[in-house]
Amino acid sequence: MKSIRVLAAAGLVAAFGASEAFAWSGDLIKCNPTPGNSIIVSFGGLSCKEAKVKIGIKTDVAAGQGFDGCVANPAAPWDAWVSGKWGKTSAADAATIEQFSISLKGQTFGSCNFGGSDVSSGASGSGAITFFDSTGAVKVKGASLKFFGKVAGDVATYSATASGLVTKGIGLGGDLALTIGLDLANPINTPVLACNAGGTCNDPNDPADPGNLNPVTQLAVITNASSEFIITLGSDDPNDPNDKAT
């Protein structure tokens, strides 16, 4: 009986292994947004002292605050997924993907200094993305998703990043990654830059310290030459013959 169970388990593992080995993989959707689009990220209030803070991100394609430059991979088996009820976006629909909007609600235990400390914790949350055509007025059929991810800021490279896992919708199970720049020309970012340069937070535990009186509630990010958004399925391995990365 034991040998039968072992053989059954081995067969199950082999079946799943084969399925993964031959599954389609690669960049499903890639976006390189037009530089110069500034977007505001809201916070519950980041100060010099670590605290539990809410984070919110929401862009609006109709208001010109979406991301463009998107291309869906034509090598992906879109029509096979539709016929198999794994998705709702056909190859013809996928070819119209050009822009997307994003929203995210999350939390962090941290301060206005993105470098963190020995008691801070990274920011994470749940979000949603919707893809639009080139006009920004038409939602692409079936091209929306939900995800869980982490967000972070890096003053050293003047950038902000988001990475996570697609939990529902187009690209289900895929990895998601977004990189965008910090808008250095926007005065909204002056408090954050000063905080990270050590110019405002002399004593995080002193409520009378100037850096503790005006918590940071907004951050301006902007698309630049390094900005990119990618949804990747599978291994994304250049040595994998099944990898159809764009």
Q: What is residue 237's predicted lDDT score, i.e. its pLDDT?
A: 52
pLDDT band at 51 (very low <50, low <70, confident <90, very high): confident
Q: Concatenate the DSSP letters of all residues of 69-137 into one string.
A: -EEE-TTS-HHHHHHTTS-S--HHHHTT--EEEEEEEEEEEE-S-TT--TT-EEEEEEEEEEEE-TTSS
Question: pTM for this one?
Answer: 0.82
Q: What is residue 8's predicted lDDT score, i.e. its pLDDT?
A: 42
What is the mean predicted confidence (pLDDT) over 200-211?
68
- Digit-coded pLDDT (tens) for 157-176: 889 899 999 999 999 999 99
- Sorted by where each begins, the domain ranges of the chain are 25-233
- Digit-coded pLDDT (tens) for 59-88: 888 887 789 999 999 999 999 999 999 999
